[in-house]
Structure 1
Amino acid sequence: MISERERNGAPTENVALVTGASRGVGRGIALGLLAAGFRVYGSGRSIDQADLPRGIRRLRCDHLKDDQTARVFETIRSECGRLDLLVNCAWGGYEKMVEGGVFTWPAPFWDQPPHRWTGMMDAGVRAAFVCSAHAARMMTPRGRGVIVHISFWSAQRHLGNTIYGVAKAATDKMTSDMAVELKQFAVPVISLYPGLVRTEAVLAAAKSGGFDLSTSESPEFIGRVINALFHDANLMARTGQVLVAAAVAKELGVLDIDGSSPPALTLADLGLEG
């Protein structure tokens, strides 16, 4: 659907939806895109209580519930008539990491609590699939749009636990296959790997000596990288690929909010090489 403003040649803001924008990386992406001039919609279960500026349109949504997800896209369609960028950042599985006094996150797959599968595969991978389907229905008629899935290195090697790896590997495979089907419509799809991001949880852990933040990234940095990719004239050449945010930033000249250039982490840096 092409808006009346587009038909008349009037300038329009690029419209972005960031799922999971209540906190962490999702919140940072929403802030980064807002600063870059996007009209930003942020969705999440606790979005109404999120620390976000008024410029971000909050859409309360539990992405485990398809009817609520559908309403998010209906709202964007009715208010804007189009969607230019979808960033799938909604994720689950980090809840209840300690149960009965036991830290279950690194447990072998046979000792993992069942809710972690639901959190990562349903609230994460399935939610991204459903949102992407809605986005594709809005983007393909216009032959314009970008879909970004936030993923991580656990897709490449064992990191944390088996469910985490399965979920991120599924995200990367979803990226490559969606890219094949959307290529004829000039809608690129990418998986983007953040580095060590200074989310609320990471900052809290750092205070207790759990993390060295010297090579970390601000949450807004990922939003800056996505903005640069969105405006990259050669973005279709990257469709279906897994990209490391910090490496893309160096290539496209993107700096963090403090003017730094975060290093691009590798499997070796994570102790996962080989």
Structure 2
Amino acid sequence: MDQSRSKASKVILVTGASSGIGKATAIALAEAGHRVFAGVRKPSEAIVHPLVELVKLDVTNPDDVVSAVAHVEREAGRLDVLVNNAGTSLVGAVEETSDKEASSLFQTNFFGPLRLSRAVLPLMRRQGQGLIVNVSSVLGFLPAPFMGLYASSKHALEGLSESLDHEVRSFGVRVILVEPSFTRTSLDTNASVASTGIDEYAAARSKSVAAVRRQIAEAPPPSGVAAEILSVIDGKHHLRRPADRRARILSKLRRWVPAAQFDKSLRASFGLS
């Protein structure tokens, strides 16, 4: 390893690192002195950072997952932290969403982190230590009209993460959920749209999408989420880490505000009456 690196330097694999939160995280971790491997689908086309090492990784491809983890172990001798960030989004009413569209989204948002976690755990168990950071969302604990499949995938990821943390902590391995609110990235602005539109949903869907886009336009950049991920790597373990001020407020409101009042507020935030 480069002698200029800190003694506290960790070996970290970040998925979905070609843009958005993943790219910002890979750069922040590398600039903090960690050795970072950035998982990207097309390394020849990715531009991340001179300190970041690229590795081919499509989280929906089981062979890529095995190969990427083996590459990190071969090059660095260990893997201290996995950041499961790769994700995709889908806009549309639940009724409008096909099985194929739902399956495709879950392949990235849920089965991707599941595959990566299974792939790194044998190495982390042998090391006697490790950390898995799963990038969730406030929609992992909140409903989201017209983003129901995305919210479902994040709810599933949260359930998986909490269960996994109980299973592996005796091996020195922990799991953390980082939960951003809307972030100014292309994930939601360029989200896929369910292919089967139903006229009865059109007006409400249009209002909801417009409301979400307004919030994204005013949202903080991905560097804030990256800073939160950096802080959790050496910080005290907390399973759920809301990644920004709005996420922290929403987490508290969800627990303490009466259900009817919260329901009304949430509907308004998505442009619904």
Match among 215, 223, 227 for residue 224 of structure 1: 227
The answer to whether the aligner puts 1:272 opposite 2:270 as a matched pair is no
In structure 2, the partner of 1:30 is: 26
Mapping for residues 100-179 of structure 1, pairs under 5 Å:
105-107=91-93, 109-159=94-144, 160-179=146-165
Residues 263 and 166 of structure 1: CA distance in aligned 2, closer, same or farther (over 3 Å): closer
| Cα displacement string for residues 2-23 of structure 1 (whole angstroms, at most 9, x for unaligned residues) | x9x9xxxx94631110101111
Amino acid at match of 1:143: G
Amino acid at match of 1:266: L
In structure 2, the partner of 1:253 is: none
In structure 1, the partner of 2:196 is: none
In structure 1, the partner of 2:258 is: none
Alpha carbons 1:192, 1:245 under 8 Å: kept: yes
In structure 2, the partner of 1:180 is: 166
Structure 2's unaligned 5+ residue stretches are 192-211, 255-261, 268-273
Pick the structure with more helix per residue: 2
Matched residues, percent identical?
Answer: 22
Q: CA RMSD in A?
A: 3.0
In structure 1, the partner of 2:243 is: 245
For residues 163 and 187 of structure 2, what CA distance do their matches in structure 1 show? 32
Q: What TM-score does the superposition give when structure 1 sets the normalisation length?
A: 0.75
Alpha carbons 2:40, 2:55 under 8 Å: kept: yes
In structure 2, the partner of 1:73 is: 69
Amino acid at match of 1:221: G
Amino acid at match of 2:220: E
In structure 2, the partner of 1:211 is: 214
Mean Cα displacement is larger for which, 12-21 or 209-218?
Answer: 209-218
Amino acid at match of 2:266: L
Q: Report how far residue 80 of structure 1 moved.
A: 0.7
Q: Report how far residue 66 of structure 1 moved.
A: 0.6
Alpha carbons 1:45, 1:60 under 8 Å: kept: yes
Structure 1's unaligned 5+ residue stretches are 95-104, 248-261
Q: Report how far residue 75 of structure 1 moved.
A: 0.4
Residues 221 and 29 of structure 1: CA distance in aligned 2, closer, same or farther (over 3 Å): same
